[in-house]
Chain A
Amino acid sequence: MDKPTNNGAWLLVVPVVLLVAFNAVMPLMAVVNYSVQDIFGPGQAYWVGTEWYREVLGDTRLHEALLRQFLFSGLVLLIEIPLGVLIALAMPRRGWAVSLVLVILALPLLIPWNVIGTIWIIFTRPDIGLLGYSLNSLGIPFDHTASPLDAWITLMLMEVWHWTPLVVLLAYAGLKAIPEAFYQAAAIDGASAWKVFRYIQLPKMRGVLTIAVLLRFMDSFLIYAEPFVLTGGGPGNATTFPSIYLVKVALGQFDLGPAGAFSVIYFLIVLLFSWLFYQVLQNVGRGKAR
């Protein structure tokens, strides 16, 4: 059954649009302005057209950072989404254990991002950190300040630790929203656990999983504070993501022009991929009926 058309519904949306536009429009225009001008100081700006865009697009260090970022965000999605769904399925549905599990799950999400990085420095230091000390005393040399691979492993561990609970909370809320009658019907039909998952739980979780995938993609693609605090982009450039490189350009070299162009391109990449994910997740498995 299709939704009825009612343009009066705009009245309900207006407050949201005004509030978000108030915050979004002016800063975005300002950044686009930076990206096409050479700014020396207040009132001293010169139109340079696409020069900054050409400079940024030809920057090989940016290409490397972007490749790294795609690898990182890809791994994040491949690990966190399935893991989050599995954990949500394993969670108790009622009783005191629910409260306990929910509170524990929320812990990593509630820590300010710069503090997350600090915790993981403490946690992985070979001399005083629980993880670093344990691994080294087991005879596995582990030092994320020296080895790029160790730095990546630490970052992935941190990321999965930090954000999988978000996927779990969303998936769990989606599961809880499935009426009991669906399960009863499945039980009468003698459906296997896999079939219940595939034909009842997974389709019903489409909405929350779409949000989970989009959020995890966007936020992991823009990740800054955690790797900046933990590795500072090193060793070498091994964990220099575009956001870290951007801040180096914008704040380190006071180059608002290239930084603005970089921001616009960066934004468009996130936008394009989010839109693709959104389209695919909206339509996958719906068949032609839609």
Chain B
Amino acid sequence: MKTGIVRFALATYLVMLMLPVYWMVNMSLRDNADILSTFVLFPENLTFDNYIKIFTDPSWYSGYINSMIYVTMNMVISVSVALPAAYAFSRYRFIGDKHVFFWLLTNRMAPPAVFALPFFQLYQTMGLIDTHIAVALAHTLFNVPLAVWVLEGFMSAIPREIDETAYLDGYSFPRFFFRIFMPLIKTGIGVTAFFTFMFSWVELLMARTLTTTEAKPIAAVMTRTVSATGLDWGLLAAAGVLTIVPGALVIYFVRNYMAKGFALGRV
């Protein structure tokens, strides 16, 4: 009875969550004239033209490829530098630890608009404008602090006795870290990987500032094409639907890390 109500409430929430996304899918399968003239719950004049255009026009699909490249780079860099740092924060005291920990997060707190200009100058000096690595590096500004914070939380939940036992058993630090510790915080790594992917994928301002053509992200391609063609709702909706797909795949792959949870609980 009680679980029935809970299930029903959860299902209702999930349906409401999907409504705007459904509406986007609905629009993506219709042409612009049809969208603007009639209101229908299910597309009647189904067309895949919007998707065909995106998959055949290089200026469209290269946007997806560019975004995927720098987002993956960013995810790998962020998680790999954050893992050891989070371990240090969760296990040891050291000079300035608390200050550095909070300072990291302050890098997410600046309003990006005015920072775009010096960012451009910085990466121009490095000769990195319009490269994937530039966007990947720039996005570490907000993703590395987040990764450190999330991972630190998960690591602190693991009792320190585990580390000590491993060292007593003669494990070296790297061997302990990769063989014992990382499997224990799989959930945290999964969540962190997803978050870094997500924040880099949806960020537009920096990515647009640092690129012109060769590494232009899909979100920027969408705004440009929209203003140039005077809002083609169907095409825009189809592009929007396609922006969800890569991330949905990522969460599908990390879901087991998130779902399996904490190995210690079963010991």
Q: Which A positions have Cβ atoms within 8 angstroms of B?
A: 1-10, 12-13, 15-17, 19-20, 22-24, 26-28, 30-31, 34, 87, 90-91, 94, 98-99, 101-115, 118-120, 122-123, 127-131, 133, 161, 165, 169-170, 172-174, 176-181, 204, 207-208, 210-211, 214-215, 218-219, 222, 224-225, 242-243, 246-247, 250-251, 256, 259-260, 262-263, 266-267, 270-271, 274-275, 278
- Checking A30, A104, A263, A275 against B18 with a beta-carbon cut-off of 8 angstroms, the contacting residue is A104
Nearest Cβ on chain B to A103's Cβ, whole angstroms = 6
Q: Is B70 an interface residue (CB 8 A)?
A: no
Q: Is B39 an interface residue (CB 8 A)?
A: yes
Flag B77-102 by CB within 8 Å of A: 1 or 0 each: 10001101101110111110100101
Judging by beta carbons under 8 Å apart, are B219 and A114 in contact? yes
Which of B5-13, B45-53, B54-62 has 4 or more CB atoms under 8 Å from chain A?
Answer: B5-13
- Checking A173, A211, A214, A271 against B258 with a beta-carbon cut-off of 8 angstroms, the contacting residue is A173
Chain A residue at smallest Cβ distance from B110 = A267
Judging by beta carbons under 8 Å apart, are A178 and B262 in contact? yes
Nearest Cβ on chain B to A160's Cβ, whole angstroms = 10
What are the nearest 6 A-B pairs in CB distance? A110-B247, A30-B118, A179-B265, A207-B153, A176-B261, A112-B219
Interface residues of B in 136-150 (CB under 8 A from A): 137-138, 140-141, 144-146, 148-150
- Contacts A/B (CB < 8 Å), 24 sampled: A10-B95, A17-B100, A20-B141, A23-B119, A23-B122, A24-B107, A26-B118, A26-B122, A30-B121, A31-B118, A112-B243, A113-B219, A114-B222, A130-B41, A170-B150, A173-B188, A179-B262, A179-B265, A214-B105, A219-B108, A225-B204, A246-B113, A263-B110, A275-B102
Judging by beta carbons under 8 Å apart, are B240 and A161 in contact? no
Judging by beta carbons under 8 Å apart, are A23 and B137 in contact? yes
Q: Is B180 an interface residue (CB 8 A)?
A: no
- A222 CA to B107 CA in the complex, in Å? 13
- Checking A15, A127, A242, A256 against B81 with a beta-carbon cut-off of 8 angstroms, the contacting residue is A15
Residues of chain A lying within 8 A (CB to CB) of residue B117: 30, 256
Residues of chain A lying within 8 A (CB to CB) of residue B259: 94, 98-99, 102, 176
Judging by beta carbons under 8 Å apart, are A115 and B201 in contact? no
Q: Is B27 an interface residue (CB 8 A)?
A: yes
- Checking B144, B152, B154 against A19 with a beta-carbon cut-off of 8 angstroms, the contacting residue is B144
- A250 CA to B118 CA in the complex, in Å? 13
Q: Is B156 an interface residue (CB 8 A)?
A: yes
Judging by beta carbons under 8 Å apart, are B111 and A243 in contact? yes
Nearest Cβ on chain A to B267's Cβ, whole angstroms = 8
- Checking A1, A17, A23, A98 against B255 with a beta-carbon cut-off of 8 angstroms, the contacting residue is A98
Judging by beta carbons under 8 Å apart, are B111 and A176 in contact? no
Nearest Cβ on chain B to A199's Cβ, whole angstroms = 17
Judging by beta carbons under 8 Å apart, are A215 and B114 in contact? no
Q: Is B68 an interface residue (CB 8 A)?
A: no
Residues of chain B lying within 8 A (CB to CB) of residue A101: 10, 14
Query: If A161-B17, A263-B114 touch, does A13 touch B93 (CB 8 Å cutoff)?
Result: no
- A238 CA to B178 CA in the complex, in Å? 53
Nearest Cβ on chain A to B88's Cβ, whole angstroms = 4
Nearest Cβ on chain A to B217's Cβ, whole angstroms = 8
- Checking A90, A165, A246 against B17 with a beta-carbon cut-off of 8 angstroms, the contacting residue is A165
- A102 CA to B256 CA in the complex, in Å? 10
Residues of chain A lying within 8 A (CB to CB) of residue B265: 178-181
Judging by beta carbons under 8 Å apart, are B157 and A207 in contact? yes
Residues of chain A lying within 8 A (CB to CB) of residue B202: 109-113
Residues of chain B lying within 8 A (CB to CB) of residue A224: 111-113
Query: If A113-B202, A246-B113 touch, does A106 touch B17 (CB 8 Å cutoff)?
Result: no
Residues of chain A lying within 8 A (CB to CB) of residue B237: 119, 122
Nearest Cβ on chain B to A55's Cβ, whole angstroms = 15
Residues of chain B lying within 8 A (CB to CB) of residue A218: 108-109
Query: If A105-B17, A107-B21 touch, does A207 touch B156 (CB 8 Å cutoff)?
Result: yes
Q: Is B264 an interface residue (CB 8 A)?
A: yes
Residues of chain A lying within 8 A (CB to CB) of residue B20: 108, 119-120, 123, 130, 161
Q: Is B162 an interface residue (CB 8 A)?
A: no
- Checking B36, B91, B198, B247 against A128 with a beta-carbon cut-off of 8 angstroms, the contacting residue is B36
Residues of chain B lying within 8 A (CB to CB) of residue A170: 150, 191
- A123 CA to B187 CA in the complex, in Å? 35
Q: Is B19 an interface residue (CB 8 A)?
A: yes
- A200 CA to B90 CA in the complex, in Å? 21
- A204 CA to B39 CA in the complex, in Å? 48
Chain B residue at smallest Cβ distance from A217 = B109
- A177 CA to B156 CA in the complex, in Å? 11
Judging by beta carbons under 8 Å apart, are A104 and B17 in contact? yes
Residues of chain A lying within 8 A (CB to CB) of residue B89: 13
